[in-house]
Amino acid sequence: MHSFIYFASFLLLVSAIPKEEKIDRVYDRDLSGKEHFDNDIHNTEYDHEAFLGEEAKSFDNLSPEESKRRLGVIVDKIDKNKDGFITREELRDWIRFTAKRYIVEDTNNQWKKHNPDDAPKLPWNAYEKLVYGFMDFSKVVNKDDENYSYMVMMKRDKRRWQMADKDGDDALDKEEFGKFLHPEEDEYMKDVVILETMEDIDTDNDGKVSLKEYIRDLYKGEDNEEEPDWVKSEKEQFSTYRDKDGDGFLDIEEVKSWVIPPDFDHAEAEARHLIYEADYDADEQLTREEILNKYDLFVGSQATDFGDALARHDEF
């Protein structure tokens, strides 16, 4: 029940967010929630998360010897052609894989829930019945009806489904279903993300986002309350950076630049950085020994439950 759960969770999230906190619309493409450099001081925790993805969260304190042993197992996985060297391309592809792993896992989980028989394709009518079948939208007459929001969500799902359904057979295979669940990760699907964002924010339906609409979406405080400093900063961001043509509004292209920033290849940059830091002989590739000698850069003195991790790494 992806859409129902998503919508209910969104309502719960919004109600639980303190009024002074910011609701973020930007799809963050960075590899870690940590800053890579803080006042020119290198933060290796960024590298740990970039190299291990979500596995970095589950690290337990280990001895350097155990960290090196487990890191060595990962190195063997990264070396796809088994030539004893980790090239920039191999390291980049590994970092991309770890960054996208949560999408693969979520798609697998949702596919099993919605398609327990693991049929090659999931038809729209089966998905619709499972997610919305208990609702009677024929009785919805206005926005005050308790099922109105779910009807809107169903229509959005249908539109997103049709966009993900490239062969137009009204059924999605597993890959297409992944695009349906995570449209922000697919270049072909990005337009529907922007369209949904516009529908959420453009409350007067004039096809553009005013400063008032922009702030109202990010900040749920009352009109008579003193605004937090970050709200004032966002107003400056709107005028200085978001509103590129200076007309006082954000059009669709400006919203796209805000919500899905222009591509910067974080994985490529991180691969170059890790090689620069660990490549003792300056041949622009890494040996197993070079990586283990700099284990503190890749995993520190901690490592994860690699038995579970490596089982999933076979998807790489």
Q: What's the pTM value of the predicted model, to 2 decimals?
A: 0.67
What pLDDT shows up at residue 7? 41
Token reading at 292: 């283990």
Domain of 133 in residue numbering reads as 2-313
- Beta pairing partners, 312: none
What pLDDT shows up at residue 281? 94
What pLDDT shows up at residue 32? 66
Beta strand segments in 176-300, E: 209-210, 249-250, 286-287
From CA 3, how far away is CA 195, in angstroms rounded? 17
What pLDDT shows up at residue 227? 81
Count how many domains the chain has: 1
- Beta pairing partners, 41: 38
Under 8 Å CB-to-CB from 304, ≥6 apart: which residues? Answer: 52, 55, 56, 58, 59, 60, 70
Burial of 185 (0-12, 13-18, 19+ CB in 10 A): middle
- In contact, 217 and 24? CB cutoff 8 Å: no
Listed as ranges, residues in the chain with pLDDT below 50 are 1, 3-20, 58-60, 301-312, 315-316
Under 8 Å CB-to-CB from 84, ≥6 apart: which residues? Answer: 287, 288
Q: Kindly compute the dihedral angle of the four CA atoms of residues 224, 229, 230, 236, in this order, to the nearest 10 degrees.
A: 90
What pLDDT shows up at residue 89? 96
- In contact, 161 and 124? CB cutoff 8 Å: yes
Q: Kindly compute the dihedral angle of the four CA atoms of residues 86, 87, 88, 93, in this order, to the nearest 10 degrees.
A: -70
Query: Do β-strands 171-172 and 122-123 pair in parallel, antiparallel, or remain unpaired?
Result: antiparallel
